[in-house]
Structure 1
């Protein structure tokens, strides 16, 4: 039986890339009985039907799975954040980073709208994001005014399956429209009253780019930690992981424990204080969430 990858899911149909063809498929009834939902990104086996369409018969094991958006087998997540309009908030970006780290997906940071900043503001943003570079994240600064140079972006996306994520209104869809001429995805204006963008993307779809795929995904600003356990949270901060063995107690949560290497690094300025405060707030959110049954 032929194999392929689901690149789009819409209205109960799954569009499977098989070699140079895209085959419209339905899932088998067996999946519904087993409460299995095929996801965009799934590697699947299918069979052709009499109508020239297909039926998915098996889904390969997934290396990872995201719930917002519902996609699977992602290599990297491009977290798009704007330097201005909507205003950049470290809390939101750190939250995206945690969600992605928890799924063992590699994060990459794109900072858009740099042209809207004064020189002083620009200096501050670059200095702030230099911290994220020092802890191992790749950061790319983009200016709408100068146009986005695909030569800068293409090497990051080449031969990877990338998902775009970020707060509404930061420019994810505009970025994709620039990278892929003719795509003409719908964009929304920034809501002046709410300070965030309107939701414009209606479904998840993989789009061929270079030798990989990129996904346009719904913009959203509300995130929760329903899938991140308390003991997993410290592992989602690379700078904590690098020195956790220096903590006196194994499994240190870096809160009130004595001889904590992370708290010492915060006091010394080696770990950014604002990022540590975000971590403490994330712990409080996880502790306050309702138990799942």
Structure 2
């Protein structure tokens, strides 16, 4: 350790921006008003091909100038590539019941990534107040929203996914959601324009994250979150607000791993006749048998086959 620096300290990266990492020291309650320490990362990380991530537990030092240096990354319990966050326990997948329309294929793609990262997923359906509109001009939209709510509950509750229904505008469900988040590190992820920032503003008093309306032409929102940041919510809890995105790929996922990322398929794997069953054409497949019996949702199976095709196509190209 160079002279003029503190002894090694431990902390958590809560924000990464423009080459700086903002570290919150361990031992301070995350309700503290004190600011995180602005740090640079040591050059050795780049040589080793390592990149510090928001959520990383680190060892750092502080120079007399007050600027810190991230000296070492501690082992991660989980890691996501998109969004780039580490050591997250709970992934809150925020999908609106309408505006933009609920996309089950995108939801299944998110779920597959979260299952692969071995994090606990939770489905948060936002803008539930739009399902309750009674004005003449909103009846069609309300019917669509109610149908989307019912469909998600029908498909995903039996699989074992925790579902919370919220409305930032009315405050519905925010208390239940906050209780789930207390004392944990969570990430809010989902398609842009679904109300992630509005939901966080409703959860954390005084927070004023930028929000934007849905584009009528594109049917989706603008990206209002431009960097990944951990937001303290009290009682030791942090939530990562991440840039909105609508595209995910499976570059970090092997073809043989995809079936494992579908929770209901995973439970049936031991009953398949062949080891390494792809659940598409093999005889004695427990998944296709369950599909025929109505025990696996057709939309889930169709999306699985679609993702499998995408992965095989990419593998052929590269």
Instruction: Rate the CA distance shift 1:290–1:263 in 2: closer, same or farther, 3 A.
Output: closer
- Distance (whole Å) between structure 2 residues aligned to residue 35 and residue 221 of structure 1: 27
Q: Is the 8 A contact 2:168 2:202 kept in 1?
A: no
CA RMSD of aligned residues (A): 1.7
Q: Which runs of 5+ in 1 are unaligned?
A: none
* Secondary structure in 1 matching 2:157: helix
Q: 2:189 aligns with which of 159, 162, 165?
A: 165
Output the CA distance in 2 between the equivalents of 1:193 and 1:290.
Answer: 34
Report the alpha carbon displacement of residue 151 of structure 1 after superposing the two structures with TM: 2.0
Equivalent residue, structure 2, for 1:106: 120
Aligned-residue offset at 1:199: 0.9
Query: How far does residue 119 in structure 1 lie from its aligned partner after superposition?
Result: 6.1
- Structure 2 distance, partners of 1:187, 1:276, is 35
Give yes or no for the alignment of 1:53 onto 2:89. no
Does 2:47 correspond to 1:33? yes
Q: Which ranges of structure 2 fall in alignment gaps of 5 or more residues?
A: 1-7, 29-33, 132-141
In the superposition, the TM-score normalised over structure 2's length comes to: 0.88
Contact 2:167 2:173 in 1 (8 A): no
Corresponding residue of 2:248: 223
Of 232, 249, 252, which residue of structure 1 is paired with 2:274? 249
Query: How big is the shift at 1:77?
Result: 0.7
Are residue 15 (structure 1) and residue 40 (structure 2) matched? Answer: no
Contact 2:168 2:198 in 1 (8 A): no
* 2:105 counterpart SS class: helix
Q: Output aligned runs, 1:108-257, within 5 Å.
A: 108-117=122-131, 118=142, 121-122=145-146, 125-210=149-234, 211-257=236-282
Task: Please state how far the C-alpha of 1:124 moved relative to its aligned partner.
Answer: 5.5
Q: Give deviations 1:82-134, integer Å, cap 9, x for gaps.
A: 11010001101000101111111111000011221236852562243232111
Q: Secondary structure at the match of 1:17?
A: strand
Q: Runs (4+) of structure 1 moved beyond 4 Å?
A: 290-293
Q: TM-score, with normalisation over the residues of structure 1?
A: 0.95
* Aligned length in residues: 293
Deviation at 1:200, TM superposition (A): 1.1
